[in-house]
Amino acid sequence: MFKKLSTLLRDNRSFLLFISLMLVFRSAVADWNTVPTGSMLPTIVEGDRILVNKMAYDIRVPFTHIPLVKLADPTRGDIIVFDSKKADKKLIKRVIAVPGDTVMMRDNRLYLNGKPLVYTSQALSAYAPANVTEWQEELFGIVHSIRLNPQPSQLANFGPVTVPDNQYLALGDNRDNSADSRVIGFVPRDEIVGRSSSVVFSLDYNDYYLPRPERMMRAL
């Protein structure tokens, strides 16, 4: 039995080495994640596969959250992927406030360090239902789109709160339909595994999982 196993491993060592290196790469360097929900609409659509740069902030021991070298900290506007202990799952949200920032929301409009963010109405994006509105939100020079329901949810107001050290306030772009820092609290720095800035490819869940060519390699 041992001899057969040894022979099998020897005959397939190149393939096993490839698999091992690929797993290490996906764990510590870069990976792609499926987006199953609409909490980041209109920026990220259900069915998108987003590229995650796992070396954006830290070099970590593969298959762990143990940092070896700190490269950078998340900044406002970053789309982060993190393993939330409170939600007990991996989440994708946008960093709105960093340590030391004071932030509040009134009727879905954000105020950061006492200054209101600038909002500009925009045309509805593709796949958007007719009963929502979409706006451009300017986050101290970072412009991105958000989606609002006709009637604000209970999440439309909070704060003011000040972000503690080594924590971040992160929200979904689909503001009335996102379980984010308004639900799970601040995001600890050590739960953040990477940053996403592009869609690799996308499958349309409502159309027999057909690819969406217009979203391939789309910047976020």
Each residue's pLDDT tens digit, 53-106: 999 999 898 888 888 899 999 999 999 999 999 999 999 999 999 999 999 999
Helix, strand, coil share of the chain (percent; to 5): 20, 40, 40
Q: What is the pLDDT of residues 125-134, one digit of tens each?
A: 888 888 999 9
pLDDT value at position 111?
Answer: 98
More confident residue, 212 or 36: 212
Write down the pLDDT at residue 163.
98
The catalytically annotated residue of 20, 85, 86, 93 is 93
Q: Chain-wide mean pLDDT for the chain?
A: 89
Q: Which helix (H) or strand (E) holds 158?
A: strand 158-162
Average pLDDT over residues 34-62: 92
Alpha carbon dihedral 46, 108, 86, 100, in 10-degree steps, equals 120
Indicate the helix (H) or strand (E) that contains 79. Answer: strand 79-84
Which pLDDT band, with edges at 50, 70 and 90, does 1 fall under? low
Q: Would you tell me how many other CB atoms lie within 10 Å of the CB of residue 178?
A: 25
pLDDT at 31 over 90: no
What pLDDT shows up at residue 30? Answer: 67
What's the length of the chain?
Answer: 220
Dist. CA 189–CA 204, nearest whole Å: 33
SS3 call for 210? strand
Based on the residue annotation, tell me whether 93 is a catalytic residue of this protein.
yes
Query: Which residues does 81 contact at the CB level (< 8 Å), separation at least 6?
Result: 33, 50, 52, 90, 91, 92, 192, 193, 194, 195, 196
Rounded to 5 degrees, φ, ψ at 5 are: -65, -40
pLDDT band of residue 27 (cuts 50, 70, 90) is: low
pLDDT (tens digit, 9 = 90+) per residue, 173-185? 999 999 999 999 9
pLDDT at 215: 92
Q: Give pTM, 2 decimals.
A: 0.91
Residue 152 has what pLDDT? 86
Measuring CA to CA, which residue among 80, 27, 71, 72 is closest to residue 50?
80
What pLDDT score was predicted for residue 208?
A: 85
Q: How confident is the model at residue 26 (pLDDT cuts 50, 70, 90)?
A: low
Reply yes or no on whether the pLDDT at 9 is more than 60: no
Active-site position among 39, 84, 178, 181 = 39
pLDDT for residue 3 is more than 90: no
To the query of whether residue 115 is one of the catalytic residues in this protein, the response is no
Q: CA 62 to CA 41: how far, in whole Å? A: 31
**What percentage of the chain reaches a pLDDT higher than 90?**
68
